[in-house]
């Protein structure tokens, strides 16, 4: 099996993200066809990246080698996973945002109760839940069969690829590095980032602003 996105340098992480669409990720009895991804650079130019300020205990997996999973926890309860790309030592990764369950549907339904199958993996945390991937998968390979998850080539045409702003980040959220398969019903709903306004301090009677 060939992995063309593995050969791309870190400064082409957006192209690697495009190439990952349609690939099938199998883990713990479920297979998901990736329909939405999001690119993040670690070259010091992407403030939305976990690697923007350099290597830490949390993000060290992002610095290579390519083909590893970078798994982290959000809100103290959900997990998200990225596929590491680029050359070792220069962090870049592709967040796996959403997908279509194409194998092990019954298992996926047990793990995530939802009325419609299209919603089983329609978000990064939902995707990890149906695949039963957690922090224990951090630093494992998705290309050599040694980890709990393995990526397989698309089994057919991917379809039109669309691009737009990223989701769920407070910095560089308008960078068009979120990619999805156009018209696919499993793609997550887009919600534009809206900066929080600081509440005005009440003015007490007799005082001036």
Residue 174: its pLDDT value, please? 77
DSSP string, the chain: ---GGGGS-GGGHHHHHHHHTT-EEEETTEEEEEEEEEEEE-SSS-TTSTTTT---TTTGGGGS-TTBEEEEEETTTEEEEEEE-SSTTS-EEEEEEEEEEEE-HHHHHHHS--S-GGGTTSSHHHHHHHHT--GGGTT-BSSSS-SSEEEE--SS----EEEE--SS-SSSTTS--EEEETT-TTSPPP----PPPPPPPPPPTT---
Residue 175: its pLDDT value, please? 80
Domain boundaries, the chain: 4-181
Taking only the tens of pLDDT, the chain with its 209 residues reads: 789 999 999 999 999 999 999 999 999 999 999 999 999 988 777 867 777 777 888 889 999 899 999 999 988 789 999 999 999 999 999 999 999 999 999 999 999 999 999 999 999 999 999 999 999 999 999 999 999 999 999 988 899 999 999 887 766 667 889 999 999 999 988 766 454 555 555 545 544 43
Domain 4-181, CATH class in plain words? alpha beta
Residue 201: its pLDDT value, please? 57
Its pTM stands at: 0.87
């Amino acid at each position: 099996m060939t992995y063309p996105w593995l050969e791309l340098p870190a400064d082409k992480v957006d192209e690697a993200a495009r190439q990952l669409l349609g690939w099938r990720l199998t883990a713990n009895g479920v297979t998901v066809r990736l329909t939405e991804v999001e690119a993040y650079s670690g070259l010091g130019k992407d403030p939305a990246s976990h690697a923007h300020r350099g290597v830490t205990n949390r993000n060290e997996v992002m610095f290579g080698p390519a083909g590893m999973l970078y798994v982290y926890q959000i809100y103290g309860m959900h997990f998200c996973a990225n596929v590491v790309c680029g050359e070792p030592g220069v962090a870049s990764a592709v967040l796996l945002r959403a997908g279509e369950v194409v194998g092990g549907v019954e298992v996926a339904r047990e793990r995530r109760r939802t009325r419609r199958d299209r919603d089983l993996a329609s978000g990064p945390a939902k995707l990890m839940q149906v695949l039963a991937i957690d922090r224990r998968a951090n630093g494992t390979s998705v290309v050599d069969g040694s980890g709990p998850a393995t990526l397989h080539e698309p089994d057919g045409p991917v379809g039109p690829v669309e691009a737009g702003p990223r989701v769920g980040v407070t910095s560089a959220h308008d960078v068009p590095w979120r990619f999805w398969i156009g018209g696919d019903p499993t793609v997550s709903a887009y919600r534009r980032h809206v900066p929080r306004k600081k509440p005005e301090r009440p003015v007490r009677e007799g005082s001036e602003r």
